[in-house]
Structure formats: structure tokens, C-alpha cells
Amino acid sequence: MKPLKKEDLQQKVFDLYDDYAHNKIDRRQFIEKLSLYAVGGITVSSLLSFMSPNYIDTLLVQPNDPRLDTKYISYESPKGGGTIKGLLSKPRDAEKKLPGVVVVHENRGLNPYIEDVCRRTALEGFISLAPDALTPLGGYPGNDDEGRALQRQRDRYDMLEDFIAAYHYLKNHDDCDGKVGVVGFCFGGWISNMMAVRLPDLGAAVPFYGGQPSAEEAAKIQAPLLLQFAELDTRVNAGWPDYEKALKANNKAYTAHFYEGVNHGFHNNTTPRYDEDAANLAWKRTIAFFKEKLE
């Protein structure tokens, strides 16, 4: 059988995967529903394999990249009862203090994709920190299914406090100039929005397809926002009109981009939801935004 391609799949398969990835259906239900699309020589196992993340062949910046100084650190957790582990990365040849960026994971912990994004950010001239909110439960377990199950065991507002603590850790780091922004994906997009609500000194926030704060919360935002949305992501996009109304009503600085014909998770290059053109453009805009607002 020839290898599957993105164009072989119906949009309903991507919608089904989105339901599964966001805990609306369990694995048994996902496989059961997926079997409806196993036609024309396509098997359920091939669909499962194709939709699952590929962390081996997709790294853009290797963990041992000689251009970077990358290591794991720990900082105090306000809610986790101990410390939070995070990946800290910065350019090895930096001759001055750098602006910082907190990189926030999806709803499955600090997986290889988010670690890679942390290193990508550092290569652009920032000191970046990607925390693992699953640390109090043993950390990212090595696969996303178990990671999602673990993350459901933590309260999202407790995790928000841990990412706010990461902001303070980075802001006060010896190699940081005190200007700090945040970028996050999915759950991390919600965290990015909420950090903008909670941190009046936050330098910039870039939520990728993230859930929105309430109108009352949006009124508290001081940081400039760059909001990245996927056109086909009806679940997240449903909250945008009210959020935009609140931002406009309170004269907040924001720019929103909707990327045509792409799904939730389009920046994540480990699954077939990835769209290279949209991901590259969104990341180019993200880095330009951070350079403008933080440097």
C-alpha cells in the first residue's frame, strides 16, 4: 500500500483527531469512529500511525546544537508542591543580556515538539524557557496519550500559576534583560492569553489557537497581543468575536491573523495537521513581533 498523504484524508478525520486530542472522546471511541474512514485500501492502523506525532524525523534544531547553551533547570512551583522542570536555551555566543520568551506547551506536557520550539526561539536571539507543567506528576511521560491523561489531573489555574512563576524566573535570570514575552500553543495559547491578563509588565503575548479570557479579564490586559488562528478551527474560533469585542472596547493593542484552509495545530510539524506555509509565516510574524516589542 502506498504511504498516506494529507490530501488523502477527509476534513472529518482531522476534526475527529481534534476531538480526541482535546479529550472529547476517548481512545476507544476515536478508533471506532476512525474505522469509518478506513476505506479504499486505507486501514485503521495506517490512519492511527499517520495521525500520530512523529518526534523522530521532525526536529528542526537538535538538542545538542552547538550554537546554543541548552539545559534543564528547576524553579519553585507555587501550586505543585515542589519544583517545576523546564528547558532553558540561549545563544552560546551572546555578548549581552537577552530578552526572554516563555514557551508554553499544549495539553500533554513538555514533549519534543515544544522543546524544539524552545530551541528555535533561542536561535532567534532570545533566552527561552519551556516549563513542564506535568513535573508534579512525574513530568512528560514520553508519549502524548499518557501526557494528556496526566495533564487532566492538574487544575489549569494551578498550572497558570506555574507558568507565571516561569515568567518571574526568566525575568530575574542573570542572562535576561528583564523584558519577557510568552508564546503558547493550544492549552498554551490559553495560558498566553491569561498571562497577559495577570501580568501587567508582560512584554508581549503570542497565543496560537488559544482559548480566550472573559471580557472582564480582557480589560486587564496591558501587553500587546499577536493572535494566531486556524481558519478550520471552529472550536477555538467560536470565542474570538467576543474576545475581539472586549479588546476593542478597552482599546487594547492586538493583531489577529487567520490562516486560510488550515487546522488547529497547524504549527506543529509532527502531525499531518501541520501546514508548512502557514507555520513558517506565523513563526516569522511571531519572531518579528517579539523583536519589535522586547528588544
Domain ranges of the chain: 6-51, 68-294
- Distance separating alpha carbons of residues 77 and 158, to the nearest angstrom: 9
What is the grid cell recorded at 284?
516569522
In the predicted model, what is the mean pLDDT of residues 263-286?
97
When the pLDDT of each residue in the chain is averaged and rounded to a whole number, the result is 95
What is the grid cell recorded at 224?
500587546
pTM greater than the 0.75 cutoff: yes
Whether 41 has a pLDDT exceeding 80, the answer reads no
Output the CA torsion sign for 284, 223, 117, 170: positive
- Distance separating alpha carbons of residues 119 and 100, to the nearest angstrom: 12
What region, left, alpha or beta, does residue 139 occupy, with left being phi > 0 and alpha being psi -120 to 50 degrees?
left
The one-letter amino acid code at 76 reads: E
In the predicted model, what is the mean pLDDT of residues 102-128?
98
- Distance separating alpha carbons of residues 56 and 270, to the nearest angstrom: 9
What is the reported pLDDT for 3? 64
What secondary structure letter does DSSP report for 73?
A: E
Give the H/E segment covering residue 87. Answer: strand 82-91
- Distance separating alpha carbons of residues 24 and 19, to the nearest angstrom: 5
Q: How confident is the model at residue 265 (pLDDT cuts 50, 70, 90)?
A: very high
Question: Could you tell me which of 160, 153, 165 has the C-alpha nearest to residue 184?
Answer: 160
Within its chain, how far is the Cα of 293 from the centroid? 20
3-class state of residue 222 by DSSP: coil
What is the reported pLDDT for 14? 92
Whether 25 has a pLDDT exceeding 60, the answer reads yes
Within its chain, how far is the Cα of 25 from the centroid? 21
Query: Do 44 and 31 contact (CB within 8 A), yes or no?
Result: yes
- Other C-beta atoms lying within 10 Å of the C-beta of residue 147: 23
3-class state of residue 110 by DSSP: coil
What is the reported pLDDT for 40? 72
For 218-238, the pLDDT digits (tens) are 999 999 999 999 999 999 999
Whether 82 has a pLDDT exceeding 60, the answer reads yes
CATH architecture assignment, domain 68-294? 3-Layer(aba) Sandwich (3.40)
Whether 5 has a pLDDT exceeding 80, the answer reads no
Q: How confident is the model at residue 144 (pLDDT cuts 50, 70, 90)?
A: very high
Q: What percent of the chain has pLDDT over 90?
A: 86
Whether 1 has a pLDDT exceeding 50, the answer reads no
- Other C-beta atoms lying within 10 Å of the C-beta of residue 60: 12
Q: How confident is the model at residue 2 (pLDDT cuts 50, 70, 90)?
A: low
Query: Do 130 and 117 contact (CB within 8 A), yes or no?
Result: yes
Q: What percent of the chain has pLDDT over 70?
A: 98
Whether 217 has a pLDDT exceeding 90, the answer reads yes
Longest alpha-carbon distance in the chain: 59
